[in-house]
Structures are given as structure tokens and as C-alpha cells.
Amino acid sequence: MAYINVKEGVPGIRSLVMFRPETGKPLYDLAQILLRGESTLSEAERELIAAYVSSRNNCMFCMSSHAAASRCLYGEEKNTVDEVLKDMQQSQIGDKLKALLNIAGKVQVLGKEVKEKDVEAARKLGATDREIHDTVLIAAAFSMFNRYVDGLASWTPTDAKMYEEMGKRMSKGYVMPQEVKTDI
């Protein structure tokens, strides 16, 4: 049960942005830009960064929902997501993405953990300044989103099918939820 009076049956951040749409809309707009906007990183990779950071923050709702979105976007290569969440270094992703996830993991701990050598390592593997910037911003934003969801104890479903459906919806983009009718 959430710590504040939010709509029952609405999971995670959705219930929180419905509670306060004037703050929720900019959060959803940020997620839309970061995860669906123009980028040389694929949407699947950006969702994977969000899921990876959320996993490291132990935010089950965000990790599960963004992992589901990433799986949906990876399509036939959906097992990539589980490999990375199990052991990023041993996963089959490319070295550039590993270097970016390394940076994201450091941001998740503390931004000052990212060192010039980490950025240089990513650059040597082909990461652009824009990709490095967006990785850091995704990691920072999702650390905030994770703390928002867990700090108010929003509902975290345990049904994998629910997350699969969320992933399908999220893979199409981020739009503010409409009021949920409960009298139907």
C-alpha cells in the first residue's frame, strides 16, 4: 500500500503522476525524450540502460517494466536484457554498450564516481559525446524515478504478464495516463 492516497490498482509511477499531473507531465516528457527521442543509441539500448540502473537501485517496478519494454524493442534478441541484468560484463552486448553501462552504473552510485578514464574508454569504443551525455542523463533520471516510486511505496505488481503488457505499451512511447475508471 502506497504511503499516500493514490488510485488503487495503478502500478508504480503511473499512480504517482496521476496523483500530481503537473509534476508528472514533465517527468513523462523527459522519459519520452530520453528513451524515444532522436539518438544513435537504439530505443532498446536506452530502455536497457534504464532497466540496468533500476536493477542496481533495487527498484523492482522500474526494473521490471523497463526490462519488459527493452525486451519488446529487442524483439528476437530479447534475451539480451536478461543477460545484462544477470551479469553485464559476461553478456553478449558490444563493448561500447558495456562501457556506457559501466558509466551508468557509476552514476547510479554517485555522479562523481564517473572518471575521465571511464569516458575515454567509452570514446575509444566509439561512443559519441551525445551518447555519453544521454547515458549519464538516463542513469541520473532513473535514479530519481526509482527513488520516487520506492520512496512513496507505490504498488509493485509481481505478475510477469502485467509487465509484459506494460512493456508493449511503453515500447510505443510515454504519454500521461488517463484517469482510470473503476466503476465499470
Give all strands (DSSP E) within the chain, no chain letters: none
Instruction: Kindly indicate the confidence band of residue 184, based on its pLDDT and cuts at 50, 70 and 90.
Output: very low
SS3 87: helix
Tell me whether residue 3 is in a domain: no
Domain assignment present for 49:
yes
HSE-CB of 167 using CA atoms within 13 angstroms: 28
User: Which set of grid coordinates corresponds to residue 11?
Assistant: 502500478
Q: Is residue 182 assigned to a domain?
A: no
CA nearest to 100, candidates 77, 72, 121: 121
Residue 174 has pLDDT above 80, yes or no: yes
What's the pLDDT score for residue 1?
86
Rounded CA-CA distance 181/70 in Å is 29
Average pLDDT, the chain: 95
Q: How far apart are CA 150 and CA 127, in angstroms?
A: 32
- Tally of structural domains, the chain: 1
Q: What is the DSSP string of 106-118?
A: HHHH-GGG--HHH
Residue 23 in this model has a pLDDT that exceeds 60: yes
Domain containing 23: what range? 12-170
Q: What is the pLDDT of residue 68?
A: 98
Residue 96 lies in a domain: yes
CATH number at residue 155: 1.20.1290.10
Does 7 map to a domain? no
Considering the domain boundaries, does residue 60 fall inside one? yes
Instruction: Say whether pLDDT at 176 is over 60.
Output: yes
Distance CA 151, CA 160 (A): 23
pLDDT for the residue 112 = 97
Split at pLDDT 50, 70, 90, the class of 50 is: very high
What does the pLDDT read at residue 179? 60
Q: Is residue 146 part of a domain?
A: yes
The answer to whether position 175 is within a domain reads: no
Across the range 12-23, mean pLDDT stands at 96
The whole-number pLDDT of residue 126 equals 98
Rounded Cα–Cα distance for residues 180 and 9 (Å): 9
Structure confidence by residue, pLDDT tens digits, 63-88: 999 999 999 999 999 999 999 999 99
Phi, psi of 24 (to 5 degrees): -70, -40
pLDDT of residue 100: 98
